[in-house]
Every structure is written in structure tokens, then in C-alpha cells.
């Protein structure tokens, strides 16, 4: 494993979100009760099996597109995907909005206190940016960053759902670097996905820190990170 980087050489640190500072999201497994979430959000019209099937199909459809390298700059919105499903085509806008909120509720994770403190420590010595892939609109995520007390630590936040691109598209990295007006030689990106984070950031000309949480290392065909750590917390201890 490569040595942790000396972050003092970088003026800007860009962070990934899921698996880097936020955890417990993407709750779309077979045991999830999407219908209960729909009802908790005020939904009454749709039968439970319709809600379950529609949300599962939406996530499966978007997941397949997410893994397709040819679609990283033509990624659909949740609302578009729901509307194109057989069970969503004839639904009124109010119901589609509720289903979109169900997706967002199950997608959202949480920033643990230790990671909020790490963000604060990083912000004390660097300008911070966030470059995050999410399916849903960013409102709930901004609320979670505010709840954790770290939203104002970021000089810029780039959420993929504001665009039609997802990492590893370099467009999202370029957007963050442009917003911060920083030389690329002074920017380092930290993330846990070799394909989306390390490959994408390297393609944008940035130094990279890969969070290898399992310690299993990379395969020969994987993108090569500049540095490797086991956890974001290793960068601030």
C-alpha cells in the first residue's frame, strides 16, 4: 500500500461522498419496504405491490445505466425513469413526485460525527469541494450536510443529479476545479471507487487518494491511484 499523502502540498481537497464521508445509503435491497415509506410520505393512492415493483424497477434500470461507461454523460433523472416505466406512464405528477421522494429517502445516507470532524479538520487547512454521484435531487443531501454541521465547510458542491453526467465523467471534476479556480497541480481527489472516483479524477488531471476500505488492493486493470489509505480518517490523524 502506498504511503498516505502529505496534504500540505495541495491547496484544494475534493471529496467523494458515499463510502467516503456518508454511509448507510442506497437501501434498495429485497427487504426494503418502499410502500411503507410511500405511506409515511403521505401516499395513499397506489397499492403496496405497485410501489414495491415501481421503485425496484426504477433502481434496477438506473443501476444498469450507471454501470454503462457509454452513458456517463447521458444519465437520466429519477423522474424521467419513473415516467418511462410501465407502471409510471399514466400516473399523475403528484404520484410521480411521491415516488421520487421514496427513492431519495432510501438513497440518502448519514454523515457520522467522526467524519464531520474530519471534514472540519481538512477545511482548516484546505479549500474543500464535493463531487458526488446521486440519483435523486440534492435537497435531502444538503439538509444532511447542514445537520452534520459541515455544509459551510465546502467552497463548492457538485452533485451529478444537477446535470446529465455521472462520475467517472470528467465534466463533474472540471466543474469543481473551475468553481474553485485552482491549478490542477494543487488539487487532490479522495474517493473509494476506483472506476468512478480514481479513474474519473485522474482523467481530469488530478492527483488521487483511493480509500481501500477492505485492504484487498486493486486489480491490474484498475485505475492507478496516486495514494492509498484505508479510511478518510487516516488523512487527519
Superfamily of domain 7-25+109-235: HAD superfamily/HAD-like (3.40.50.1000)
Of the pLDDT bands very low, low, confident and very high (cuts 50, 70, 90), residue 6 is confident
Q: What are phi and psi of 18, to 5 degrees?
A: -65, 125
Q: Residue 156 in contact with residue 129, Cβ under 8 Å? A: yes
Half-sphere exposure of 98 (CA within 13 A, CB side): 20
∠ CA(18), CA(24), CA(30), 5° rounding?
Answer: 115
* Section 56-74 average pLDDT: 97
Name residue, grid cell 452533485: 159
The mean pLDDT value of the chain amounts to: 96
Domain ranges of the chain: 7-25+109-235, 34-107
Q: Give the chain's largest Cα–Cα span.
A: 57
Run of H or E including 97: helix 93-107
pTM: 0.95
pLDDT tens, residue by residue, 98-132: 999 999 999 999 999 999 999 999 999 999 999 99
Average pLDDT over residues 35-61: 97
pLDDT digits (tens, 9 = 90+) for 158-213: 999 999 999 999 999 999 999 999 999 999 999 999 999 999 999 999 999 999 99
> 3-state class of 42 per DSSP?
coil
pLDDT, residue 1, reads 46
Amino acid at each position: 500500500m502506498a504511503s498516505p499523502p502529505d496534504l500540505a502540498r495541495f491547496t484544494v481537497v475534493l471529496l467523494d461522498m458515499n463510502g467516503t464521508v456518508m454511509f448507510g445509503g442506497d437501501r434498495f435491497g429485497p427487504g426494503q419496504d418502499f410502500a411503507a415509506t410511500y405511506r409515511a410520505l403521505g401516499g395513499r393512492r397506489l397499492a403496496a405491490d405497485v410501489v414495491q415493483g415501481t421503485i425496484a424497477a426504477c433502481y434496477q434500470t438506473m443501476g444498469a445505466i450507471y454501470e454503462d461507461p457509454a452513458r456517463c454523460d447521458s444519465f437520466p433523472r429519477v423522474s424521467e425513469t419513473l415516467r418511462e416505466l410501465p407502471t409510471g406512464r399514466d400516473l399523475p405528477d403528484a404520484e410521480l413526485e411521491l415516488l421520487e421522494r421514496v427513492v431519495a429517502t432510501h438513497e440518502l445516507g448519514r454523515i457520522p460525527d467522526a467524519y464531520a470532524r474530519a471534514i472540519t479538520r481538512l477545511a482548516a487547512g484546505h479549500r474543500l469541494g464535493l463531487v458526488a454521484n446521486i440519483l435523486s435531487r440534492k435537497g435531502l443531501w444538503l439538509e444532511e450536510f447542514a445537520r452534520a454541521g459541515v455544509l459551510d465547510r465546502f467552497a463548492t458542491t457538485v452533485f451529478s443529479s444537477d446535470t446529465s453526467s455521472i462520475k467517472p465523467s470528467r465534466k463533474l471534476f472540471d466543474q469543481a476545479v473551475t468553481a474553485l479556480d485552482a491549478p490542477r497541480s494543487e488539487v487532490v481527489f479522495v474517493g473509494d471507487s476506483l472506476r468512478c472516483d480514481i479513474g474519473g479524477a485522474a482523467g481530469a488531471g488530478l492527483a488521487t487518494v483511493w480509500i481501500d476500505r477492505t485492504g484487498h488492493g486493486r486489480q491490474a486493470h484498475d485505475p492507478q491511484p496516486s495514494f492509498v489509505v484505508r479510511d478518510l480518517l487516516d488523512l487527519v490523524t
